[in-house]
Structure 1
Amino acid sequence: MNTLERIQYLNTILLEEMPQYKADAATFPDEIHTQRRLLRSLMNLRPPGPITADFLREQDILLQQEATIKGVVKPNELPNIADETSKDITPQGAPAHNLILWQGDITRLAADGIVNAANSAMLGCFAPCHGCIDNAIHSAAGLQLREACAQLMEQQGQPEPTGQAKITPAYNLPSKFVLHTVGPIIPANRQPNVAEAELLASCYRSCLKLAAQHQLKSIAFCCISTGEFHYPREEAAQIALNTVSHWLASSGSDLKVIFNVFKDEDLAVYKSLLKI
């Protein structure tokens, strides 16, 4: 089947599972762009549960084709901070050759692990086509990721505490693993307090600990808590750099750490702090 036929086939399966959305789905034209948006919406809405082998086979073909079209980015092809500054040590004291600053779509990175800014339910974003990184990662990984997270949460028996992290396979992403961490939520019109700053630092340490336990050679951090959770970006970036720097220095690890930014504002903040 061609791409449009594959998308429509996947939509048909999901609508049979969730017939309450059939009326809305009927308003989507039979065009590849709109049918693909419908598919992402239905995948976002679908609760965890058993998935047919037929669906997974065709979903995986589609997602892997899309990953190839977007282009896979390999960490060893990216310049590190030492390359960009001609310095061995960053202003935060970390080995400059271990750190990379990269602006782009984290779902393109073929790092051993990428970090997802999750919520305490750890099941991904259920808002159709929402712009958060949680939605982007789950949408590109496929329905297996939500199911894997659901199994972890069922075993845990409680919401994921802020500052901790879990690890799952990455399924259809170019990375090998996804590390899910829950950052602090900052109320509007208030600066983070000391306890919230420590919780954000704990997110980074928890992910680094998991990376070491699973012998990852590279990990890409998003800007944890700075999106939907409203942590001020400059303070968050400083915590990220200081925490990672201290961990690399104290552990002696040769882990390659990528600070992945998407917005121009975040890129400017990291460049300023790293003196690039």
Structure 2
Amino acid sequence: MPTIEEDLRFLITELQEERTNTGDELATCPIPGTFGEAWDLFRALCNTRLPEHVSGEFLAKQDKLLHAIIDEEGITYAGLIPPCESDPRFAVWRGDITTLAADAIVNAANSQLLGCWVPGHYCIDNAIHTFAGVQLRIECAAIMKAQGHEEPTGQAKVTSAYNLPSSLVIHTVGPIVENGKPTEQHKRLLAASYRNCLDAAAERRCKSIAFCCISTGAFGFPQEEAARIAVDTVRAWLDANPKADMHVIFDVYTEQDEQTYRAILGE
């Protein structure tokens, strides 16, 4: 049986052969000898791959590889994350959302809804597409082709999670705040992202959903203000929809982010 290393070399070779005669530097880059460097090349090739058909053999080896990497990292189960004492409907978790087993995780997407195309970029959009596999970009492309226009800010689209431990990915485009000073429209659109993600999760009978920090970071929304909007919006939705029985996890990246959410939640 081929090893994970052999599968990785096969996958890189297949991806490079797709780009024969394109002049793409990634197509002619020698496959590195170490697993880590080879993984970086594989990830870069996937991040910049068009959403086109791929063979069953490729998918089988890719899925095996991704499952092995995620399993080695360690899967966290949503139901085992301690709830907030102030409101047990909430939990705050600092960790990698691509290793979280929840009914749904939320992706901070761009308006093309096709993932991040920057090779190796460590934004959440790139990470989710990387570890879900090439199938996710293909599904998103089909959604966008049927829609016929870019994804509006504040809406939500649902896809399979493929190789991620979660069941579904809910993609939302948050508002971009260029000067770090959100307007009332920015605030309304951010709240709409949270509500529409919750509506989408409830429609699919999800009992757990993990939110990333939508619109913060490169999108420019100040973190503390975004966190307050997130908590207030989700709490209002839960109060208005008690039958949904939804467990909401705020997945944060830094210790400061975690402290901010816990303070807002009264922890």
Q: So what's the TM-score if we normalise by structure 2?
A: 0.96
Pairing 1:261–2:252 present: yes
Task: Tell me the CA shift for residue 126 of structure 1.
Answer: 0.5
- Give how far 1:242 is off: 0.3
From 42, 54, 58, the counterpart of 2:45: 42
Q: Which residue of 2 aligns with 1:271?
A: 262
SS in 1 for 2:261: helix
Partner of 2:82: 79
Residue 164 (1) aligns with residue 165 (2): no
* Alpha-carbon distance in 1 for matches of 2:217, 2:110: 12
Greater than 2 Å deviation, 4+ residue runs: 19-29
Kept in 2, the 8 Å contact 1:238–1:273? The answer is yes
Aligned-residue CA RMSD (Å): 1.2
Q: Using the alignment, how far apart are the partners of 1:6 and 1:41 within structure 2?
A: 16
| Residue in structure 2 matching 1:201, options 191, 197, 204 | 191
Per-residue deviation at 1:31?
Answer: 1.5
- Matching residue of 2:201: 211
One-letter code aligned to 2:182:
P
Q: 1:265 offset after TM fit, Å?
A: 2.1
Contact persistence 1:4–1:31 (CA under 8 A) = no
- Contact map agreement 1:116 1:137 (CA 8 A) in 2: yes
In the comparison of the two structures, how many residue pairs are matched?
263
Give the letter for the 1:62 counterpart: L
| Alignment match, 1:6 | 7
Shift of 1:29: 2.5
Structure 2 counterpart of 1:91: none
Q: Structure 1 vs Structure 2: percent identity of aligned residues?
A: 46
Cα distance in 2 for residues equivalent to 1:130 and 1:112: 26
Counterpart selection for 2:229 from 228, 239, 249: 239
CA distance in 1, matches of 2:27, 2:148: 35
C-alpha displacement of 1:23: 6.2
Verify the 8 A CA contact 1:167 1:180 in the aligned structure 2.
yes
| C-alpha spacing 1:22/1:2, structure 2 compared with 1 (3 Å) | farther
Equivalent of 1:251 in 213, 222, 241: 241
Distance 2:262 2:89 in 1: 16
Q: Aligned partner of 2:63: which letter?
A: D
